[in-house]
């Protein structure tokens, strides 16, 4: 496979350009991952008899590869970023395809670990490639369109599940095989059809942890902790408390996806107009309200319609996290993007290794307390977001930068 400088890629047919590859990857990943997520709560409850503690341990195991995403730096010494990303996407597809073959706690944990390695290593590399290949001026809008593309691909998968699950009496095995197989085929096609694109700035292939990125690291840490509560327990609540079955959970996801397809490009435009600070402040303030309202479902006995609406609103707010990517793109040295993406992914997953398991036990006692804790995390993120400058650049990464001596690096 030949190597092609990024500047020369504009001479290629549109279907072989870097942006097309990014869109294919953005569409390919969620076909497997989102289908796995949509069926997961029903699969583990109906087939394996999981309770809140078991689901907590499952997500703890799933997040360990995210914590070890820093290993991407070592792999990049031997494997090109683009190749590594497609290999990880292939692993995600294959592992998803065989998920239903092992319907026990140990089997599900093992297969989930393999698919998680694929997912987290793919996401680490994909974020790096996006920030390297997309021009800064176009980044917010393009990231919004990529998010919309992923939602559109997921929507197609979910529509098929809703329409065929009961009508064709599908099994978990059939759906997992189909969705994982599609993702694996997309990965192979991308490897065969596209040249290896060479970004203009060589990436540092070693571990780096720069003091001037401290605010980005802190925001990633809080985002990881907060997101775990939504990913693990918001969907679990819909099944456990309200008795949602597969097609009801999938229908809720469909609403999420339609909203994302319409709104995600607007979110990118909002970041371009408002800037990263105002966008993130809006996101975190909204999430505080959403998580407190989740708690109200248990404190005040609020019903299924409100809980479903909160789930959709929550998902939309998380889409604004693309502002965190563009914030880093603006303050980073061009050669730092790949290693810092790996470091940031590890930081994002520090709490993910133990938080789901611990909160699984808290869930057994007080589900509302879990969501109250999430609201506190969102409030902490809001405080940190206030430190982002209106126009972040290298040397002015935070509002404190000009008050402190520049670190020697």
pLDDT tens digits, one per residue of 83-128:
999 999 999 999 999 988 887 777 888 888 898 889 988 988 888 8
Q: Which domains does the chain have, with CATH numbers?
A: 3-403 (1.20.1250.20)
Q: What pTM was estimated for this model as a whole?
A: 0.79
Q: Please, which pLDDT band fits residue 390 given cuts at 50, 70 and 90?
A: confident
- What is the tens place of the pLDDT at every residue in 64-91? 777 677 777 778 778 888 899 999 999 9
Confidence band of 13 (pLDDT split at 50, 70, 90): confident
What are the φ/ψ torsions at residue 356 (nearest 5 degrees)?
-60, -40
- Would you say 287 and 317 are in contact if contact means Cβ atoms under 8 Å apart? yes
Contacts of 367 (CB under 8 A, 6+ apart): 233, 237, 241, 298
Given this model, what pLDDT does residue 94 score? 93
pLDDT beyond 50 at 39 = yes
pLDDT grade for 408, boundaries at 50, 70 and 90: very low
DSSP-assigned letters across all residues of 148-188:
HHHHHHHHHHHHHHHHHTTTTT--HHHHHHHHHHHHHHHHH
Question: What angle, rounded to 10 degrees, do the helices at 246-274 and 322-331 form?
Answer: 40
Higher pLDDT: 235 or 367? It is 367
Q: How far is CA 392 from CA 201, 331, 346, 383, 398, in A?
A: 21, 6, 23, 17, 7
pLDDT at 322 exceeding the cut of 90:
no
Candidate from 21-25, 153-157, 241-245, 332-336 with smallest mean pLDDT: 241-245
| Residue 177: pLDDT over 50 | yes
Between 377 and 319, residue with greater pLDDT:
377
How far, CA to CA in Å, does 272 sit from each of 118, 143, 269, 395? 31, 11, 5, 21
Least confident of 242-246, 273-277, 391-395: 242-246
51 versus 213: the higher-pLDDT residue is 213
**Residue 182 confidence (pLDDT) above 90:** yes
Average pLDDT of the residues in 269-298: 90
* pLDDT of 22 strictly over 60: yes
pLDDT for the residue 402 = 61
Query: Tell me: the pLDDT tens digits for 209-249?
Result: 888 889 999 999 988 888 778 777 887 788 878 887 767 77
Could you give phi then psi for residue 244, rounded to 5 degrees?
-65, 135
Rounded to 10°, the helix 18-46/172-193 angle is 160
Nearest Cα to Cα of residue 42 among 251, 216, 334, 272: 251
Question: Residue 81 and residue 333: Cα distance in Å, rounded?
Answer: 18
At which residue do the structure tokens 């490897």 appear?
Answer: 191
Percent of the chain residues past pLDDT 70, beyond the cut? 95
Is the pLDDT assigned to residue 405 strictly greater than 60? no
Residues 6+ apart with CB under 8 A from 27: 149, 150, 152, 153, 186
- Mean pLDDT score of the chain, rounded to an integer? 83
CA gap 301, 101 in Å, rounded:
38
Is residue 91 within 8 A of residue 115, CB to CB? The reply is: yes
pLDDT of 95:
92
């Amino acid at each position: 496979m030949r190597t092609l400088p990024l500047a020369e890629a504009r001479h290629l047919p549109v279907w072989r350009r870097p942006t097309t590859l990014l869109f294919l990857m953005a569409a390919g990943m969620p076909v497997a991952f989102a289908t796995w997520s949509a069926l997961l709560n029903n699969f583990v409850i109906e087939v394996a008899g999981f309770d809140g503690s078991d689901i907590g341990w499952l997500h703890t195991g799933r997040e360990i590869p995210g914590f070890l995403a820093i290993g991407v730096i070592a792999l990049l010494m031997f494997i090109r970023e683009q190749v590594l990303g497609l290999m990880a996407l292939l692993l995600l597809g294959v592992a998803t395809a065989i998920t239903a073959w092992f319907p026990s706690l140990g089997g599900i944990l093992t297969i989930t670990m393999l698919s998680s390695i694929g997912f987290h290593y793919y996401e680490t590399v994909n974020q790096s490639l996006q920030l390297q290949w997309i021009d800064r001026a176009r980044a917010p809008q393009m990231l919004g369109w990529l998010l919309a593309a992923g939602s559109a691909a997921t929507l197609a998968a979910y529509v098929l599940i809703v329409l065929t699950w009961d009508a064709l009496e599908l099994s978990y095995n059939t759906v997992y095989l189909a969705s994982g197989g599609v993702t694996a085929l997309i990965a192979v096609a991308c490897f065969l059809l596209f040249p290896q694109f060479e970004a203009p700035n060589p990436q540092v292939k070693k571990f780096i942890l720069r003091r001037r990125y401290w605010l980005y690291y802190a925001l990633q840490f809080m985002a990881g902790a907060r997101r775990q509560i939504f990913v693990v327990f918001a969907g679990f609540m819909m099944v456990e408390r309200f008795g949602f079955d597969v097609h009801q959970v999938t229908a809720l996801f469909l609403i999420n996806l339609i909203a994302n397809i319409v709104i995600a490009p607007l979110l990118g435009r909002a970041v371009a107009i408002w800037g990263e600070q105002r966008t993130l402040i809006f996101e975190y303030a909204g999430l505080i309200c959403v998580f407190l309202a989740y708690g109200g479902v248990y404190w005040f006995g609020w019903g299924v319609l409100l809980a479903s609406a909160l789930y959709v609103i929550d998902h939309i707010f998380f889409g604004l996290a693309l502002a965190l990517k563009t914030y880093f793109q603006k303050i980073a040295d061009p050669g730092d993007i790949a290693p810092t993406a790996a470091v940031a992914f590890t930081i994002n997953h520090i709490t993910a290794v133990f938080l789901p398991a611990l909160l699984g036990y808290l869930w057994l006692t007080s589900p509302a307390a879990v969501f109250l804790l999430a609201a506190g995390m969102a409030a902490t993120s809001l405080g940190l977001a206030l430190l982002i400058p209106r126009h972040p650049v290298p040397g002015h990464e935070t509002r404190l930068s000009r008050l402190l001596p520049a670190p020697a690096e």
